[in-house]
Amino acid sequence: MSLRVLVGVKRVIDYAVKVRVRPDHKWVVTDGVKHSMNPFDEIAVEEAVRLKEKKVVAEIVAVSCGPPQAQETLRTALAMGADKAIHVEVPAKEAETLAPLHVANILAKIIQEEKIDLVILGKQAIDDDSNQTGQMVAGLLNWPQATFASEIVQDGDGLKVTREIDGGLEVVQVKLPAVVTTDLRLNQPRYATLPNIMKAKKKPIDKKTPADLGVDITPRQEIISVDEPPTRQAGAKVADVADLVQKLKEAGRI
C-alpha cells in the first residue's frame, strides 16, 4: 500500500508549564509562555512515521491551524519525519476562538484537495481538551473513524485498530479512507534531534488562509469567563477518636 496520510498538529502551551488565567478572565496567559506540539499529536506524527517505515504509507502531510508561530510546531513534525507541511494561518486573536468545527472544516477541505487516504489526529489537545476534531472530520467527510487508538495494523486493504474504551479494549476494522485518533499508549514519540530540525528547514511548508479554503471561522461560541478550579481547603489534624467524632459532628457529616 502507498497511502497519503494527513496528520494534524496543534501548537499548545507546553505540558510542563503552570497555566495562569489572564486578568480579564477571558483566556489564559499565553504571552511569553513556552509552547510546544500537543503531545497526542506527537503520538499521531510518530505513528504516521512508523507506518511509513513499514512501507504502508508513502507520504505524510502535517497540517496546523494557528498563529504564525505554529510554523515552529510544523518544523518539529517535519523533523520527526513528515514530508511536507501545510500551515493554515489564523491571526493570534482569531486563533483563540477557533473551535473544533472550524478546524474540522479546514482539515476536510485540505483532505479533499490533497487526495488523502488516512487521517491521523491526536484524540484531544491538552489546552482545551475538546476531543471533537477527529470525530467531526470523519462526520464531515462521511468516513469511518477509529478513535482512541492504542494499536494500528494493516489488514488487507483496510486497517485493524485497537481502541481504548472504558474497562477494556475494542478492536475495529476500518476501510480506507478513514480517520484515526491516537491515545496515549499507541507509541512513544521520538525526539526531534538537532540535525533533523536543521534538515527539516529544507522541507516545504505551504501557507494558506481559511479564506483560501472557503472556510468561515467566525466564532459560534462566546467565552464568558475562564477561572481556576477552586483551591482545596486546608485540613486539620485531630488528636484522638473523640476529637474526630466531634469535628465530624460539627461539620454535619454524622
Where along the sequence are the contacts to other proteins (CB under 8 A)? 15-16, 39, 126, 184-185, 188-189, 191, 193-195
Nearer to other proteins, 16 or 239 (CB): 16
Nearer to other proteins, 15 or 27 (CB): 15
Of residues 147, 144, 116, the one with CA closest to residue 131: 147
Nearer to other proteins, 97 or 150 (CB): 150
Please, what is the minimum distance in Å from the beta carbon of residue 79 to other proteins? 12
Please tell me the distance from the alpha carbon of residue 75 to that of residue 159, in angstroms, as a whole number. Answer: 28
Please, what is the minimum distance in Å from the beta carbon of residue 124 to other proteins? 9
Nearer to other proteins, 63 or 79 (CB): 79
Sign for the pseudo-dihedral over CA of 88, 178, 42, 17: positive
Of residues 144, 154, 210, the one with CA closest to residue 181: 144
Nearer to other proteins, 39 or 158 (CB): 39
Partner residues linked to 179 by β-bridges: 119, 145
Please, what is the minimum distance in Å from the beta carbon of residue 201 to other proteins? 14
Nearer to other proteins, 194 or 224 (CB): 194
User: Is residue 126 exposed (0-12), middle (13-18) or buried (19+ Cβ within 10 Å)?
Assistant: middle
Q: What's the length of the chain?
A: 254
Q: What is the DSSP string of 158-206?
A: EEEEEEEETTEEEEEEEESSEEEEE-TTS--PPP--HHHHHHHTTS-EE
C-alpha cell at 72: 515552529
